[in-house]
Structure 1
Amino acid sequence: MALLAALAVPLAPVRPVAAQELAQRLGPPDATRSVTLRSTTDLDVLRPVLSAFLADRPQVAVRYEQWLSNGLYARATADCLQRRAGADLVISSAVHHMVDLVNRGCAARHVSSGTAALPPALNWRDELWGVTQEPAVMVYNRDLVPEADVPRSRFDLLDLLRSPDSRYAGRVATYDIEASGLGYLFAYADSLEATTFGGLMEAFGRTDTVATCCSAQIMSGIVSGRYLIAYNIIGSYAMERARDDPRLGIVAPDDYTLMLSRGAMIPREAPDRDLAGELVDFLLSVEGRAALKDAALLTDLDELTRTGAATAGQGASLLRPVELSPKLLVASDRHKRMLFLSRWRDAFPTVEPVAPAP
């Protein structure tokens, strides 16, 4: 474990760390107990899930803080090092950050029937739990991308970008991995999984692919026609938005599709560990899973096939889960991260600034 801790020394952020995006209290104003939840999940997406949790708890409120992943990691690390009471529960899509926090001794242990029922890949040391199931997808504008051009795999995307005069040059977007911890995680996972990774980096650089920070910003660019295709976007937000906007098409790549489970952790200094554990157990309960599924935060292969994101007949091997395990500590290794970011910067001359929070 000492070696793992050494590998996980965080790199000083290249860009200023953003503060929280919003804070909102949910529940009755006269609640006698409250749980502070800090998360990277958009409140508009998670609100129905939290409302379901509060429905049978009239004396409980939730103070919700929405953060960008790098800022949340920095705040959670500072709370831990200073032994400062902060959040009762932290949930992040950048699960390599969460593995690092647990490895540093920043988490409290919690065991229940719900956590015990999780597969080993989604329960690390009874201190970190995978509470969602979300694919990394490609999205595209249905009105502007001909059906014959829709990339069903990374190989197809490479073919679209192969020509020097491709109509998709400058019209493809993905996460900026310096601004987005989730974007870094997906790119790192791709570098391990995909034989196409080097080719994609070269093609992205050659065709002026745009790197930007956030799911909402990217999808707004897709539906407006500013971008035609976006790569490695978190599927839950895409599926939620596609329900109301038919212009947004979704593809679960049929060479493989990464599956992310957001990591939940009770900080060691949490003011109310019991209530935090109760919220974790709700998210893993039958009722909680139903609420997460309604919010598109729990997706399986059948759902991807039903919505047309995945090609019919694909087997379970299509889905590649991102495990919550010490393997992710390598993603935070200082030297590897510096080399990875250097290669990324070479490929992405165009980086758009973070849009201001509403």
Structure 2
Amino acid sequence: MIRRALLHLLALTCAMPAAGQEISDRLGPAEAGHELVVRSTTDLSVLRPVLEDFLAAWPDVAIRYEQWLSNNLYRLTLEDCEARGAGADLVISSAVHHMVELVNRGCAYTHVSDQTLALPDALVWRDELWGVTREPAVMIYDRTRVPEEDVPRSRFDLLDLLRASDGPYAGRVATYDIEASGLGYLFAYADSLEATTFGGLMEAFGRSDTVATCCSAEIMEGVLRGDYLLAYNIIGSYALQLAEDNPELGIVAPSDYTLMLSRGAMIPQHADSPQLAATLVDYLLSDPGRAALAEAHLITDLEMLIANGAAAPSLGSSALRPVELSPKLLVASDRHKKQLFQARWRDAFPANSAKAP
């Protein structure tokens, strides 16, 4: 009941005005002498235990946490950067192409430590952007309504499932709206580089009236409620946590390949408390921080996916494809490239075209 109520609340926040944040809360003692402003796309309900573990070691520190939709967070952070305003002390976003662009624009503060130096090259860029989580992009489905023989284990299976325009899955599949969700755009763009199935999937989505919507919470709640039978490219951390209390929610890490996202953390160039923010970054990259992130399903490895039944034991590590924090992602933010990509998406989702900016 509590989890369903929370999902309902989070889904409602997706409809809030674009200029507003979703959630704001203060963590830590009221009398704390220092306040760290953290702006993030991560659901506070998921990240709260991690932040509270950090604060336990810093009794004179509090965190003001602001939860934003990814596109809004990008615009706000860029505005702060251009105005040379303080804004946040730390920004954490799942839309890491936004973060790479912000770093490229000179909006980030440099920080080097033993923890950041230990990161693999794919998860750090210019000592200004760090990948702090490991989360798969998965398919989810309703175990009570989708027969076992229909469960898609790969994108090829999903294509077969959506082949008939009047089949039982017509209008009953959901995915992110790539214009409303920066994460949705990132996953779709990564798919276009990785998958020989991408063009076919776009056509199949359009033919089968697949629903495109803004938010993880809205999509997952729709699956649990029975509005959708399955959903594609959903962030696995939220799905794995939700499945703990809702065993009817099935999860699949696609066997052809599974995208692995690392949320990007950046200290804004003009942050009020950059050193304190750097301390939080180092905690997130430390062994205690990684343990707390794993407990929240924000760090997921292949063994965890197999143990949760999301991946077959035969799935190899080569099927996990990390989204690298690198200049390659600047192409995803190129205005002309993005316009062409979105035009192709609108052809597949004509119902969303009227809402496009």
TM over 0.5: yes
The answer for the alignment partner of 1:136 in structure 2 is: 137
Q: Distance in 1 between matches of 2:319 and 2:47?
A: 27
Q: Does 1:69 align with 2:70?
A: yes
Q: Does 1:259 align with 2:289?
A: no
* Structure 1: unaligned runs, 5 residues or longer: 1-15
* Structure 2: unaligned runs, 5 residues or longer: 1-16
The answer for the alignment partner of 2:87 in structure 1 is: 86
What is the CA-CA distance between 1:353 and the residue it aligns to?
11
Q: Secondary structure at the match of 1:36?
A: strand
What is the CA-CA distance between 1:331 and the residue it aligns to?
0.1
The answer for the alignment partner of 2:209 in structure 1 is: 208
Q: Which amino acid aligns with 2:141?
A: Y
Q: Which amino acid aligns with 2:24?
A: A
Q: Does 1:233 align with 2:209?
A: no
Q: Distance in 1 between matches of 2:92 and 2:193?
A: 25
Q: Does 1:172 align with 2:181?
A: no
The answer for the alignment partner of 1:154 in structure 2 is: 155
Contact 1:205–1:347 under 8 Å retained in 2:
yes
Q: Distance in 2 between matches of 1:165 and 1:66?
A: 39
What is the CA-CA distance between 1:352 and the residue it aligns to?
11
Q: Secondary structure at the match of 1:204?
A: helix
Deviation readout 1:261-302 (Å, 9 max, x if unpaired)? 000000000000010000000000111000000000000000
Contact 2:346–2:353 under 8 Å retained in 1:
no
Q: Distance in 2 between matches of 1:310 and 1:38?
A: 32
Q: Secondary structure at the match of 1:350?
A: helix
Q: Secondary structure at the match of 1:145?
A: coil
The answer for the alignment partner of 2:124 in structure 1 is: 123
Q: Secondary structure at the match of 2:332?
A: helix
The answer for the alignment partner of 1:105 in structure 2 is: 106
Contact 2:346–2:352 under 8 Å retained in 1:
no
Q: Does 1:221 align with 2:226?
A: no
Identity of aligned residues (%): 71
Q: Secondary structure at the match of 1:100?
A: helix
> What's the Cα RMSD here?
1.5
Q: Distance in 1 between matches of 2:53 and 2:352?
A: 39
Give me the TM-score of the superposition, normalised by structure 2: 0.94
Q: Secondary structure at the match of 2:245?
A: coil
Contact 1:213–1:352 under 8 Å retained in 2:
no
Contact 1:212–1:352 under 8 Å retained in 2:
no
Structure 1 runs of 4+ aligned residues shifted over 6 Å read none
What is the CA-CA distance between 1:351 and the residue it aligns to?
4.0
Deviation readout 1:131-154 (Å, 9 max, x if unpaired)? 000000000000000000000000
Q: Secondary structure at the match of 2:321?
A: strand
Q: Distance in 1 between matches of 2:114 and 2:135?
A: 23
Deviation readout 1:46-99 (Å, 9 max, x if unpaired)? 000000000111100000000000000000000000101110000000000000
Give me the TM-score of the superposition, normalised by structure 1: 0.93
Larger deviation, residues 341-350 vs 227-236: 341-350
Q: Secondary structure at the match of 2:72?
A: helix
Q: Secondary structure at the match of 1:243?
A: helix
What is the CA-CA distance between 1:165 and the residue it aligns to?
2.1
Q: Distance in 2 between matches of 1:351 and 1:93?
A: 23
Contact 2:164–2:208 under 8 Å retained in 1:
no
